[in-house]
Amino acid sequence: KKVADRYLKREVLGEGTYGVVYKAIDTKTEQTVAIKKIRLGKQKEGVNFTALREIKLLKELKDPNIIELIDAFPHKGNLHLVFEFMETDLEAVIRDRNIVLSPADIKSYLQMTLKGLAFCHKKWVLHRDMKPNNLLIGADGQLKLADFGLARIFGSPDRRFTHQVFARWYRAPELLFGGKQYGPGVDVWAAACIFAELLLRRPFLQGNSDIDQLGKIFAAFGTPKPSQWPDMIYLPDYVEYQYVPGQPLRTLFPMASDDGLDLLSKMFMYDPKGRISAQQALEHRYFSSVPPPTEPASLPRPP
């Protein structure tokens, strides 16, 4: 049976933050797509017009490193979002013990992540829920950011579903301190955590509560001094804490190059105002020094 007279539903791909995701065939283009069914709650007619208007803006976000939103429509009280179908994701790559990631491969994955981020930040759209399983990988090896802007439209996922624990590990300190006027820096922090995870092959800062997450950050980088981050003390959930020394980044990431480490330290700046932007990160010498990033088509992927 066709949905919206156009999509032939196939199997369920998984259950996500906002609802079930189906594989489907777009009969108009013969393309394989992924349809995300979003439960809209108790709105009249099940259609949330604000969400629809915002979704329309996301349809305009077209970039090689952003997953394309092909179509969006309400159907039987649910909002359906149609995306291009992707083979795998970065989490599967990082977890696969049979995959060796060379420094050039890591550079390529980080570069594609930052390109997608820089594009959206230029259009004033934040992701807010960056994590390796939101970085999808297509048959051509291109990495594309998924779920852009959805956190803002449908609410922060972690507040809706408690099982959503992984996102915490990628959360910037200004968010953990309850900051509400955050900016693109939150996505750069998450990208830094993903860079670290590509190097370590395991999540870098694995907090088991928001407080513990801050503790993990402090244990790695040392407690931030007010001189390093003057606005910190004005954040809603800021509390005074005991001084903890950090560890040298070199000790934490013995496998990183000097250029890679320098970029990582700039992405992990405590003060979001001092944190490097996605665009500046792309211009960092890490990306022009040897080895050059691996061509997407040559990147290692799970079978």
Which residue in the set 7, 24, 26, 34 belongs to the binding site for ligand ADP (CB under 6 A)? Answer: 34
Burial of 247 (0-12, 13-18, 19+ CB in 10 A): exposed
Q: Give the separation between CA 138 and CA 297, rounded to whole angstroms.
A: 10
CB nearer ligand ADP, residue 125 or residue 130: 130
Q: Would you count residue 13 as binding ligand ADP (CB under 6 A)? A: yes
CA 279-281-286 angle, to 5 degrees, is 140
CB-based closest residue to ligand ADP: 16
Q: For residue 212, what is the enclosing H or E element? A: helix 210-221
Q: Which stretch binds ligand ADP (CB under 6 A): 9-17, 44-52, 254-262, 273-281?
A: 9-17
Burial of 278 (0-12, 13-18, 19+ CB in 10 A): buried
* Amino acid residing at 25: I
Of 60-79, which residues contact ligand ADP (CB under 6 A)?
Answer: 67
Q: Would you count residue 136 as binding ligand ADP (CB under 6 A)? A: yes
**N-terminal to C-terminal alpha carbon distance within the chain:** 31
Q: Would you count residue 81 as binding ligand ADP (CB under 6 A)? A: no
Q: Would you count residue 132 as binding ligand ADP (CB under 6 A)? A: no
Q: Describe the strand order of the beta sheet including 88-89 as a list of residue ranges.
A: 88-89, 135-137, 143-145
Q: Would you count residue 83 as binding ligand ADP (CB under 6 A)? A: yes
Write out the two tokens for 49: 């017009």
Which residue in the set 3, 6, 10, 21 belongs to the binding site for ligand ADP (CB under 6 A)? Answer: 21
Q: Which stretch binds ligand ADP (CB under 6 A): 112-120, 132-140, 179-187, 281-289?
A: 132-140
Q: Which stretch binds ligand ADP (CB under 6 A): 13-21, 202-210, 224-232, 255-263?
A: 13-21
